[in-house]
A and B are shown apart, each in its own frame.
Chain A
Amino acid sequence: MRLNRREFIKLSGLLAAGGIVPPALLSGCSSRRLPGTGKLTATPTVCDICFWKCAGTVHVEDGLPWKVVGNDDDPHSTGRLCTRGTGGLGAYEDRDRLRQPLLRVHQNGKQTFKPVSWDEAFGFIAGKMQTIAEKHGRDRLALLAHGSGGSHFERLLKAYGSHAYAHPSFAQCRGPREVAFGLTYGEGVGSPDRTDMEHSRCVVLVGSHIGENLHNGQVQTLIDAINQDATLITVDPRFSVAAGKSKYWLPIKPGTDIALLLAWINVLINEGLYDKDYVARYTVGLDQLTQHVQPFNPEWAYLETGLDPELIRDTAYAMAASAPATLVHPGRHVTWYGDDTQRERAIAILNALLGSWGRKGGFYIQEKVDLPAYPAPQPAKPETDWKAVVQPEFPLAPTGISQKILQACAGPEAYFKGLFVYGTNLPHTIPDIKATLEAAADNLDLFVVIDTLPAEITGYADVVLPECTYLERYDDLRNSPERVPSLALRMPAFEPSHDTRPAWWMARQLAVRLELGEYFPWDDYADVLDWQLKQVGSSLEEMQASGVKRYPRKTPLYFADRQDIRFQTPSGKIELYSRTLAEHGYDPLPVYTAPEKPAENYYRLNYGRGPAHTFGRTTNNPLLFELMPENAVWVNPRVASQWQLKNGDYVQLKNQDGVISNRVRVRVTERTGANAVFMVHGFGHTARGLRLTSGVGADDAGLMTNVKLDPIMGGTGMRANFVTFVKA
């Protein structure tokens, strides 16, 4: 390792030295008394195990954690948490949690972390922030964040004088769809996804593996559609769980989705199956689109996708038959091949032809509660535009691009001098980023990581601030745009363990030390929530009892028949043809490019989610670890036989650039084709402090050295990597 100023610090020794025996883990040993017969308390929460943010209730029996269950009034969960949410107590009880602030120190010629007081940690950080402000300017501080508490650090960043922040959920996940739908409809899909699947008569999943990806409302509404005999069409080279529930499974050649989408558009237009009134009323560019797709008939698409032309036609007919209650799902993690915004544009266009946007069974119109912000001064906007310096090649990216921020932290001439990372384990999140991270760590004057666990990212930091888990803190009220406007409260079910603290407290403490306290005019965040709730006819007291409050809608859920609508696009219409893209030098209509092909004896590395885990955030959660302790590489039986691999064997994977993974078990299964292998993301941790999961399974992100950058929005395409087997 080449970290000079900052050696990578492995946290294991320190934690072991703590030698504290963890609380008994749900083992409930001595008592055989029936559950729920002791002294019970119930506290509302909003789950933070993933970003669907389901509301639930934490039950404690005789002072011991018992269970977390869904809140019946909650539109995100309808009273049923998913696997991970049900396992949420494991995050609280994880014996490997960060326990106290840590400061990088030099000891006997080596670098190590020293447990320090909060005062010392804040003093160090505030001192560095002052120096950066004086020497380089206040705009030279950046934040990368994922998760609820990130908003408090965003506020701190703005109060300090910088707007440079990014969420990996953009450039590593759903950015392409937000940009593509924004270009087409003038607004994105948002989260929770505005899909009206419970009313869909036909659902089309393009590589989306809902069911393995366990976003709760998505799973529940897809099942609603299935229960009502909606036609389910799944496009996936892998026999996903959703594929197994589908009337039509299209086992497409990986990377050829745009060819299929163009062929579907071709059939809908050429056979006159699109919604003519909707298209005439609301869209521009049908002529250009019609001309553009003429070469792309199903016979052409067959050569690219390997899909029977009749199957392509039949599925197009099925979509048209159910329109406008046909949802061509935009997916969620869609940074695959680098042309992802264009693929998402094709999906957006297809939905427009079917007339599903703003219609029942397609996409509904979101609404949230009009919740006023707590009265506090607004920080002035910085005079400089960091995006023009750091990501000038992506003028259409509406927000920060995480890897661009990191690149602007690396090297002596780097723009940024200080970096905060909240709740995101970057080495496992952004592909091929380790060298950049090391260079950034080498260069930055200040590197702060806020997390609950000693994840890999903590090893790069100057200061590690231990946050308490979501079960031990207040956060902002959940106020997501969705079908039913609602508010949900997260509040502490337990006192913060060890010497951990909530993000709102940390951000405020730092602000006070930087004489920015005026931007944080509260002593207790509960007061902020109470004030906000009182503006909308509720109170903290009411929410502490109910957890969730629903509000009546003020706007319609769908477009009215033939309603006059002005879309937030330059033309005021749905833009089938995008002049914005043309003006910026991009293809105004989606163009198919054939994907890279593997060399002999190499297989495309496909990856996805498993229902037991959220990325690598939960693999050390003892409850969820037990359900899925390690990932496996799925190998088709023909490939397995060629390599003489048996179920349960360990192999290592070597990618096209010679990177070799940790050992991983083989799962021989027909559910993946012979041209690709599959693995669940989130394993192969190297941080020794994660004692359950460290060294277990393989890290797919580590094998993604061929990153396909989306030229429109800066997304990191991750599916152009190929692996072969090395016997472990």
Chain B
Amino acid sequence: MAQYAMVIDTKTCIGCGDCVVACKTENNVPAGLNRDWVVEATRGTYPNLTTEFRSERCNHCSHATCVYTCPTGASHYWRDSNIVLVDASKCTGCKACIAACPYDARLIMHPDGYIDKCTFCHHRVEQGLDPACVSTCPTRCMHFGVLDDPNTPVSRLLQSRDYKVLLPETGNQPNVYYLV
């Protein structure tokens, strides 16, 4: 299976939100909803401070609780990969996945009556392109690729840099990595 990962360098992320707007236009995300967002975490007291910006989204977990929780099979893995998708025609809007997701990464409700979320732009991945957020990032702090091959840029970044994932203790095995 292909393990797709996003590796985001917090050292060069400036929190500009370009990833958010690019996702909205690329995927026609309805007004008022977002599939990705930016978190700012400032620590310390003036003038001894650090700020970290993180572009966050669905972690496309290798052990995705949303997929296992979904009663109708709407939440599923795309092909033989870790990309988690929602089949709108099977989704009843029961919101079990929202409760199951530790990352709050699922949109409350698409106006068409299903639970929407980040797709890692699988329609672009299929064509060999990066997700829209990655391809627009003006600081090039976002990287995308597979971890199955140790020589891909994302694999190499994780080999050479310190990194973290969000909420590793859940056991969900998230695939969005933050270089620190």
What is the predominant secondary structure among interface residues of chain A facing chain B? loop
How far is B38's CA from A611's CA once the two chains are assembled, in angstroms? 12
Chain A residues whose C-beta falls within 8 Å of the C-beta of B124 in the assembled complex:
36
Most buried by A among B20, B30, B139: B139
Nearest-neighbour CB distance to chain A for B86, whole angstroms, equals 10
**Residues on A with beta carbons closer than 8 Å to the beta carbon of B123:** 34-37
A611-628 CB contacts (< 8 Å) to partner B: 611-612, 622-624, 626-628
Which residue of B14, B24, B32, B47 contacts A249 across the interface (Cβ within 8 Å)?
B47
Name the distance in Å between B134's Cβ and chain A's nearest Cβ: 10
Name the interface residues of B110-138: CB closer than 8 Å to any CB of A: 111-112, 123-124, 132, 135-138
A244 touches B17 (CB 8 A): no
For residue B160, CB closer than 8 A to chain A, the reply is no
Whether A214 sits at the interface, judged by CB under 8 Å, is yes
Contact pick for B140, options A82, A211, A223, CB 8 Å: A223
Q: Which of B11-45 contact A (CB under 8 A)?
A: 11-12, 14-18, 20-22, 24-32, 42, 44-45
Q: A670 contacts the other chain (Cβ, under 8 Å)?
A: yes
Which residues of A666-700 are within 8 A (CB) of B? 669-674
Q: Bound complex: CA of A596 vs CA of B73, how far in Å?
A: 67
Question: When the two chains form their complex, are residues A27 and B51 in contact, meaning their CB atoms are under 8 A apart?
Answer: no
Residues of A within 8 A of B50 (CB): 244
| Minimum CB distance partner of B45 in chain A | A670
| List of B residues within 8 angstroms of A214 by Cβ | 16, 138
> Cα distance A66–B23 when bound, in Å?
11
Contacting residues, chain B, for A67 (C-beta < 8 A): 22, 25-26, 132
Contact status of A220 and B51, CB under 8 A, knowing A34-B123, A611-B17, A622-B31: no
A219 touches B139 (CB 8 A): yes
Determine if A239 is an interface residue (Cβ-Cβ < 8 Å): yes
Q: Hey, which chain A residues are within 8 Å of B30, CB to CB? A: 26-29
Q: Is the CB of A671 within 8 A of B139?
A: no
Q: B145 to chain A: closest CB distance in Å?
A: 18
Verify A26–B28 contact, CB threshold 8 A.
yes
CB distance from B162 to the nearest CB of A (A): 16
A87 vs B47: C-alpha distance in the bound complex, in angstroms? 34
A724 contact set on B, CB distance < 8 A: none
Instruction: Give bound CA distance, A35 to B111, whole Å.
Output: 17
* A30: interface (CB < 8 Å): yes
Distance from B133 Cβ to chain A, minimum over Cβ atoms (Å)? 10
Given contacts A34-B123, A627-B20, contact A27 B136 (CB under 8 A): no
Residues of chain B lying within 8 A (CB to CB) of residue A673: 46-47
Query: How far is it, in angstroms, between the C-alpha of A611 and the C-alpha of B13 when the chains are bound?
Result: 12
Contacts of A27 in B (CB 8 A): 28, 30-31, 111
- Which residues of the other chain, A, contact B15 by a CB distance below 8 angstroms? 241, 611
Encode A630-646 as 1/0 by CB contact (under 8 A) with B: 00000011000000000
Query: Chain A residues with Cβ under 8 A from B29's Cβ?
Result: 26, 28
Interface presence of A81 (CB below 8 A): yes
Q: Per-residue 0/1 for A56-68: is the Cβ within 8 Å of any B Cβ (1 yes, 0 no)?
A: 0000000000111
Would you call A245 an interface residue if the criterion is a C-beta within 8 Å of the partner chain's C-beta atoms?
Answer: yes
B1 within 8 A of A: no
In this complex, the interface size class of chain B, counting residues with CB under 8 Å from chain A, is 35 or more
Across the interface, do A32 and B88 meet the contact criterion of CB distance under 8 Å?
yes
Contacts of B46 in A (CB 8 A): 239, 251, 636, 670-674
Interface pair B136/A35, CB less than 8 Å apart: no
- Nearest CB in chain A to that of B50: its residue: A244
Please state if B49 and A70 are interface contacts (CB–CB under 8 Å).
no
Q: How large is the interface on A (under 10, 10 to 19, 20 to 34, 35 or more residues)?
A: 35 or more
A89 at the binding interface (Cβ < 8 Å): yes
What CA separation (Å) do A32 and B124 show in the bound complex? Answer: 16
Taking the nearest CB of chain B, how far is it from the CB of A102, in angstroms? 28
Contact between A26 and B42, CB atoms less than 8 A apart: no
Chain B residue with minimal CB distance to A622? B31
CA distance A86 to B133 in the complex (A): 10
- Alpha-carbon distance A216/B31, docked complex (angstroms): 26
A69–B88 CA distance with the chains assembled, in angstroms: 28
Question: CA separation between A83 and B139, bound complex, in Å?
Answer: 11
CA distance A82 to B17 in the complex (A): 9
Q: A244-B49, A245-B11 are in contact. Are A86 and B136 (CB under 8 A)?
A: yes
Q: Mark out the residues of chain A between 579 and 631 whose CB falls within 8 Å of any chain B CB in the assembled complex.
A: 611-612, 622-624, 626-628
Contact B32 A86 (CB under 8 A): no
In the assembled complex, the Cα of A220 lies from the Cα of B111 at a distance in Å of 37
Closest to A238 in B: B46
Q: A611 vs B139: C-alpha distance in the bound complex, in angstroms? A: 13
- Apart from A77-B138, A251-B47, A671-B42, what are 12 other A-B pairs with CB-CB below 8 Å? A32-B88, A37-B123, A66-B28, A80-B136, A81-B18, A81-B136, A83-B21, A219-B14, A226-B11, A241-B53, A612-B17, A670-B44
A–B Cβ pairs within 8 angstroms, 14 of them: A25-B31, A26-B28, A28-B28, A32-B88, A35-B27, A67-B25, A82-B18, A226-B11, A244-B49, A623-B21, A637-B45, A670-B45, A670-B49, A671-B46
